[in-house]
Amino acid sequence: MLGWALTFLVVALIAAVLGFTTIAGAAMGVAKILFVVFLVLFLVSIVMHFVRGRGTTL
């Protein structure tokens, strides 16, 4: 998911350089949303790791 956010960020930067402001704005919005979703899922993953503990190993 972080890869998608970075991809949309690059698309937004290229579109901004070329003057496509509407496309750049939309791509930047998508990149921001995906980055926030990535951060939330990452934090939930860390919390769940500490809550569940190490678990049993075979």
Interacting residues of 37 by C-beta distance below 8 A, sequence separation 6+: 1
Note down the domain range covering 35.
2-52
Tell me what pLDDT residue 15 has. Answer: 85
Nearest partner of 24 among 35, 16, 36, judged by Cα? 16
Task: Give the C-alpha separation, 26 to 43, whole Å.
Answer: 26
Query: What pLDDT is recorded for position 1?
Result: 66
In order along its 58 residues, the chain shows pLDDT tens digits of 678 778 888 888 888 888 888 888 888 888 888 889 988 988 998 888 888 876 566 6
- In-domain check, residue 23: yes
Q: Do the domain assignments include residue 44? A: yes
**Contacts with 31 (C-beta within 8 Å, 6 or more apart), sequence order:** 5, 6, 8, 9, 12
Q: Total domain count for the chain? A: 1
Eight-state DSSP code of residue 20: -
> Given this model, what pLDDT does residue 57 score?
61
Per-residue model confidence (pLDDT) at position 26? 86
